[in-house]
């Protein structure tokens, strides 16, 4: 039985593939479709085009400048922010006050660390639960023959179209009836439910791509569905799992709507509220502590950025492999 | 068709699975409550402290728009009640309260008590049939300690549902007492005085301007403009016309309203008078309301009309007092014979018919609570229209002045009109059109546009 995974693709190669993928739809200057090193050469030439570079740089600047401004603002005190723009920050000096107020829990606010823990408690099961369910479901959709399989798959896929806002109130009513509204269960179940259609679709495409011969070989060796799933398929679809995991983590981490609907608005002592709820409330009832918001936002961003950076090579590979299946 | 059926099957299967797996968790207490009783409850709840045997161990959930740090003093002010009755108060603050409360009514997830900051929202909640009329005790407290105006705002169809809680005074003009003293200016007491002072400042000090303002407030940009118009209309046309204007029995673009808007324009749209510290009048639209009055501290601007809660926007270390860095005077009326006050406040609506909820509502309506809250609000920034509130219990001078204004027998209180108009206007076109207006759109177009957007029914 073959359980060996293919040799891991190096990051460099994955990037080369990216350029090839990006390049081919446009053709390559009349010289026909190329492969291997020359494709890399084309790709290299394409990205060194001065105009393309200029456009890319302008876009990158336009995209990051407001973020940089926000970052600089988060290190300035209230009066400086009000009186001068962030680009004049060098002449007015910096302070860590905003961060210490946010982290230490300014005026009657419990320390932020409580809510960071809450956010993780919400996000981690809300990522793994749909991953588990979706990988099982997509295995069934991809490799088990059962009646109405295609119709069901289309049905699941179509559920992506339903905006979650429509489902929110009925869900709360249901949770209310079974007594789990206002608990983490409500959030875990809702996030899983909202994530499943896309997860099933994405992982299904991945699973379908795995050569049937590999599964047949495993079956000949006497492996059942469970064994094939855990020992043959799961290792192969790790990039897809990781890329969807990032997606889902970012979504759950940044979610306010679902949390505020299911948990209520409580952000006080001992509450279950996630970080986003604190961000929403941190400026105070009348908004007079607005200057804390940029610092709080950057603290909140730090975690998804860390997750993204540590898993990003899977992210790119997973997206491409899942999305470009011909 | 096949698709829809599939989805239905899936949904049904999902519901079944959920209820199977979690039925063991038990169901939560019914938050909705009912309003079977038709008339008000006649039980006497004023002696809540003597009801310990009945109330011990119960809990009351309250849901409010008041979040940290302002919630700390609220929680502290309930201590007396909690100690005395053994009832536990669960406080929940949410900045999206106005949006979420009707939604929670729909999903059967209502709190026992909600502090509703808009009479319009109270009406909506009463229309759901889930709100419970105030008990007789609360009615008595309101009659004794609040003005008739306040009772009206807490009532729907002449039935009292909610007692007033906190209040704020919007008819304020912030200024620097020191600048006024240096130049020998007097605080104006009539509208004409105010205008001649404005003219005088503009002539005296070319380096500054008499007024500064900021309408910017994210998605709510424009609301300070609506306050301006309301405050002036209340003065030029009187409270009765104001009421008719708010409930749309006179059109939004009534000549009396244009007259008031003209008076506002005479200040806000005159480049000689605004916008001190920022530039010409059009900068009002882009200046954040929190920043709007700050030029007073830099001697760039003399006056800034904004509510009492603007006190918390001054940078740390600013002394807010009659002899301090900044202070506020009452926006003068046309003459001194009348004293209209524009403001806002919260109302205590109840949604569960239980003695602990009614006892707590009675406590909140009483002067006991108002004074406890005043003492608990160490940093200032809170006031109530409760006449039993002792002014000396309030910490900050501006709160004391607000309480005096609210308790003044001459004062005629009117609720912020934009909070009572249909939200398409009050939280929509009124804001956006006032913003366009200050950018240069003329008075008539502005009022006509708002009138046109009033929902037909």
- Picking from B15, B28, B43, B196, the residue whose alpha carbon sits closest to that of residue B112 is B28
Whether the pLDDT of residue A221 is over 80: the answer is yes
Parallel/antiparallel/unpaired status of strands B88-93 and B59-64 = parallel
DSSP annotation string for A80-138? HHHHS-GGGHHHH---SHHHHHHHHTSTTPPPHHHHHHHHHHHHHHHHHHHHHHHHHHH
Look at A180-189, A301-310, B26-35, B45-54 and tell me which has the smallest mean pLDDT: B26-35
Q: Where in chain B is the domain with CATH 3.40.190.10?
A: 48-169+343-414, 172-330+421-453
Q: Where in chain A is the domain with CATH 1.10.3720.10?
A: 112-323
Give A109→chain B minimum CA distance, Å.
Answer: 6
Query: Closest-CA residue in chain A for B27?
Result: A179
Point out which residues pair with B64 in neighbouring strands.
Answer: B93
Q: Within 10 Å of residue A165's Cβ, how many Cβ atoms? A: 10
- Picking from B273, B268, B305, B230, the residue whose alpha carbon sits closest to that of residue B437 is B268
- Picking from B76, B86, B437, B25, the residue whose alpha carbon sits closest to that of residue B267 is B437
Give A106→chain B minimum CA distance, Å.
Answer: 8
Whether the pLDDT of residue A50 is over 70: the answer is yes
Parallel/antiparallel/unpaired status of strands B301-305 and B59-64 = unpaired
Question: Is A261's CB within 8 Å of B100's CB?
Answer: yes
Q: What is the pLDDT of residues A159-173, one digit of tens each?
A: 888 888 888 888 988
Residue A45 — very low, low, confident or very high, per pLDDT cuts 50/70/90? low
Question: Is A185's CB within 8 Å of B14's CB?
Answer: no
CA dihedral over B349, B373, B309, B340, signed as positive or negative: positive
Q: What is the pLDDT of residue A266?
A: 66
Give B361→chain A minimum CA distance, Å.
Answer: 21
Q: What is the pLDDT of residues B286-337, one digit of tens each?
A: 999 988 999 999 999 999 999 998 998 888 888 999 999 999 999 999 988 8
DSSP annotation string for A215-277? HHHHHHTT--HHHIIIIIIHHHTHHHHHHHHHHHHHHHHH--HHHHHHH-S--STT----HHH
Backbone angles phi, psi at B179, to 5 degrees: -65, -40
Gap between the Cα atoms of A192 and A194, Å rounded: 5
Give, for B169, the enclosing helix (H) or strand (E). strand B163-169
CATH-assigned architecture of domain A112-323: Orthogonal Bundle (1.10)
Look at A6-20, B61-75, B408-422 and tell me which has the smallest mean pLDDT: A6-20
Length of chain A: 326
CATH superfamily name and code, B172-330+421-453: Periplasmic binding protein-like II (3.40.190.10)
Taking the Cβ of residue A184 and every Cβ of chain B, the question of whether any pair is shorter than 8 Å is answered with no
Between chain A and chain B, the number of residue pairs with CB atoms below 8 A apart is: 127
CB-based burial label for B316 (10 Å; 0-12, 13-18, 19+)? exposed
Length of chain B: 457
Gap between the Cα atoms of A31 and A33, Å rounded: 7
* Displacement of CA B340 from its chain's centroid (Å): 16
Radius of gyration of chain B (CA): 24
Q: What is the pLDDT of residue A188?
A: 94
Q: Which residues are CB-contacts of A151 (< 8 A; sequence separation ≥ 6)?
A: B2, B6
Question: Is A107's CB within 8 Å of B69's CB?
Answer: yes
Give B42→chain A minimum CA distance, Å.
Answer: 32
* Displacement of CA A202 from its chain's centroid (Å): 13
Answer yes or no: pTM beyond 0.95: no
Point out which residues pair with B330 in neighbouring strands.
Answer: B172
| CA atoms within a 13 Å half-sphere pointing along the CA-CB vector of A66 | 3
Interface test with B, best of A284, A290, A292 (most B CBs within 10 A): A284
Q: What is the pLDDT of residues B44-93, one digit of tens each?
A: 888 888 888 889 899 999 999 888 778 888 999 999 999 989 999 988 88
Taking the Cβ of residue A167 and every Cβ of chain B, the question of whether any pair is shorter than 8 Å is answered with no
CATH of domain B48-169+343-414: 3.40.190.10
Point out which residues pair with B412 in neighbouring strands.
Answer: B340
Taking the Cβ of residue A46 and every Cβ of chain B, the question of whether any pair is shorter than 8 Å is answered with no
Taking the Cβ of residue B291 and every Cβ of chain A, the question of whether any pair is shorter than 8 Å is answered with yes
Interface test with B, best of A174, A286, A292 (most B CBs within 10 A): A286
First to last CA, chain B: 37
Give B196→chain A minimum CA distance, Å.
Answer: 30
Q: Which of B15, B93, B309 sits opposite A281 (nearest CB)?
A: B93
Question: Is B23's CB within 8 Å of A178's CB?
Answer: yes
Longest dimension (CA), chain A: 75
For residue A236, say if its preceding peptide bond is cis, omega within 30 degrees of 0. Answer: no
For chain A, give the percent of residues with pLDDT over 70: 79
For chain A, give the percent of residues with pLDDT over 90: 29
Q: Within 10 Å of residue B181's Cβ, how many Cβ atoms? A: 10
Query: Closest-CA residue in chain B for A158?
Result: B3
Residue B187 — very low, low, confident or very high, per pLDDT cuts 50/70/90? very high
B208 and B175 Cβ atoms separated by less than 8 Å: no
DSSP state, A22?
H
* Displacement of CA B69 from its chain's centroid (Å): 18
Question: Is B22's CB within 8 Å of A178's CB?
Answer: yes
- Residue B377 tokens, joined: 């609000």
- Provide mean pLDDT across the span A82-90: 84
Q: What is the pLDDT of residue B26?
A: 35
**A55-77: burial string, b at 16+ Cβ within 10 Å, e else:** eeeeeeeeeeeeeeebbbbbbbb
Instruction: Please give the order of strands across the beta sheet that includes B209-211.
Output: B209-211, B301-305, B172-175, B327-330
Q: What is the pLDDT of residue B212?
A: 95
Backbone angles phi, psi at B333, to 5 degrees: -85, 180
Q: What is the mean pLDDT of chain B?
A: 87
Look at B65-74, B164-173, B337-346, B434-443 and tell me which has the smallest mean pLDDT: B65-74
Q: What is the pLDDT of residues A89-134, one digit of tens each?
A: 888 888 888 888 888 765 666 778 888 999 999 999 999 999 999 9
Interface test with B, best of A85, A129, A176 (most B CBs within 10 A): A176
Taking the Cβ of residue B191 and every Cβ of chain A, the question of whether any pair is shorter than 8 Å is answered with no
Question: Is A284's CB within 8 Å of B70's CB?
Answer: yes
Residues of B in contact with A78 (CB under 8 A): 315-316
């Amino acid at each position: 039985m073959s359980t060996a995974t293919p040799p891991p693709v190096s990051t460099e190669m994955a990037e080369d593939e990216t350029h090839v993928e990006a390049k081919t739809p446009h053709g390559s200057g009349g010289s026909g479709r190329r492969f291997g090193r020359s494709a890399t050469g084309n790709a290299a030439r394409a990205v060194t085009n001065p105009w393309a570079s200029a456009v890319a740089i302008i876009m990158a600047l336009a995209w990051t400048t407001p973020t940089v401004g926000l970052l600089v603002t988060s290190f300035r005190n209230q009066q400086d922010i009000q009186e001068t723009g962030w680009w004049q920050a060098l002449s007015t000096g910096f302070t860590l006050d905003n961060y210490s107020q946010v982290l230490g829990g300014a005026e009657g606010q419990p320390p932020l660390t409580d809510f960071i823990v809450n956010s993780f408690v919400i996000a981690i099961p809300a990522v793994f639960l749909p991953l588990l369910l979706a990988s099982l479901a997509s295995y069934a959709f991809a490799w088990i023959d059962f009646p109405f399989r295609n119709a069901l798959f289309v049905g699941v896929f179509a559920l992506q179209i339903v905006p979650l806002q429509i489902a929110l109130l009925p869900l709360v009513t249901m949770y209310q009836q079974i007594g789990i509204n206002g608990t983490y269960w409500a959030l875990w179940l809702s996030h899983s439910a909202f994530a499943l259609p896309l997860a099933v679709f994405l992982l299904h495409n991945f699973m379908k791509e795995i050569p049937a011969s590999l599964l047949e070989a495993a079956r000949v060796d006497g492996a059942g569905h469970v064994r094939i799933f855990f020992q043959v398929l799961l290792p192969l679809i790790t990039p897809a799992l990781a890329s969807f995991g990032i997606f889902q983590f970012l979504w759950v981490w940044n979610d306010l709507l679902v949390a505020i609907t299911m948990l209520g608005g409580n952000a006080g002592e001992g509450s279950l509220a996630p970080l986003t709820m604190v961000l929403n409330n941190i400026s105070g009832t009348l908004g007079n502590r607005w200057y804390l918001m940029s610092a709080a936002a950057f603290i909140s961003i730090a975690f998804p950025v860390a997750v993204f950076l540590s898993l990003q090579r899977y992210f790119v590979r997973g997206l491409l492999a899942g999305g470009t299946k011909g | 068709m096949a698709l829809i059926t599939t989805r239905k099957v899936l949904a049904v299967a999902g519901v079944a699975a959920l209820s199977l797996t979690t039925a063991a968790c038990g169901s939560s207490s019914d938050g909705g409550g009912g309003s079977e009783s038709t008339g008000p409850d006649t039980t006497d709840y004023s002696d809540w402290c003597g009801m310990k045997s009945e109330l011990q161990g119960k809990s009351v959930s309250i849901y409010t728009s008041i979040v940290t740090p302002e919630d700390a003093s609220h929680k502290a002010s309930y201590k007396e009640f909690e100690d005395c009755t053994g009832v536990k108060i669960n406080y929940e603050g949410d900045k999206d309260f106005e949006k979420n409360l009707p939604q929670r009514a729909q999903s059967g997830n209502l709190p026992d008590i909600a502090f509703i900051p808009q009479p319009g929202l109270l009406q909506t909640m009463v229309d759901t049939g889930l709100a419970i009329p105030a008990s007789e005790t609360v009615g008595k407290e309101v009659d004794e300690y609040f003005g008739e105006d306040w009772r009206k705002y807490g009532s729907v169809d002449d039935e009292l549902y909610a007692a007033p809680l906190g209040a704020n005074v919007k008819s304020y003009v912030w200024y620097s007492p020191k600048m006024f003293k240096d130049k020998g200016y007097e605080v104006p007491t009539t509208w004409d005085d105010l205008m001649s002072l404005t003219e005088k400042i503009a002539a005296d000090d070319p380096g500054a301007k008499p007024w500064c303002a900021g309408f910017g407030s994210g998605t709510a940009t424009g609301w300070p403009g609506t306050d301006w118009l309301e405050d002036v209309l209340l003065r030029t046309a009187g409270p009765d016309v104001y009421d008719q204007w708010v409930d749309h029995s006179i059109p939004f673009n009534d000549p009396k309203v244009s007259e008031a808007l003209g008076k506002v324009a005479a200040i806000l749209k005159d480049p000689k008078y605004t916008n001190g510290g920022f530039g010409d009048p059009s900068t009002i639209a882009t200046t954040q309301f929190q920043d709007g009055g700050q030029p007073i501290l830099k001697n760039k601007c003399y006056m800034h009309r904004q509510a009492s809660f603007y006190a918390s926007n001054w940078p740390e270390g600013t002394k807010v007092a009659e002899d301090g860095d900044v202070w506020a005077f009452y926006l003068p009326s046309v003459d001194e014979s009348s004293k209209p006050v524009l403001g806002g406040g919260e109302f205590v609506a109840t949604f569960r018919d239980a003695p602990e909820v009614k006892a707590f509502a009675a406590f909140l309506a009483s002067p006991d609570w108002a004074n406890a809250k005043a003492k608990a609000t160490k940093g200032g920034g809170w006031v109530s229209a409760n006449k039993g509130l002792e002014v000396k219990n309030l910490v900050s001078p501006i709160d004391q002045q607000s309480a005096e204004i609210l308790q003044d027998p001459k004062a005629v209180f009117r609720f912020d009109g934009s909070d009572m108009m249909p939200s398409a206007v009050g939280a929509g076109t009124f804001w956006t059109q006032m913003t366009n207006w200050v950018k240069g759109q003329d008075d008539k177009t502005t009022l006509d546009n708002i009138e046109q957007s009033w929902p037909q029914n």
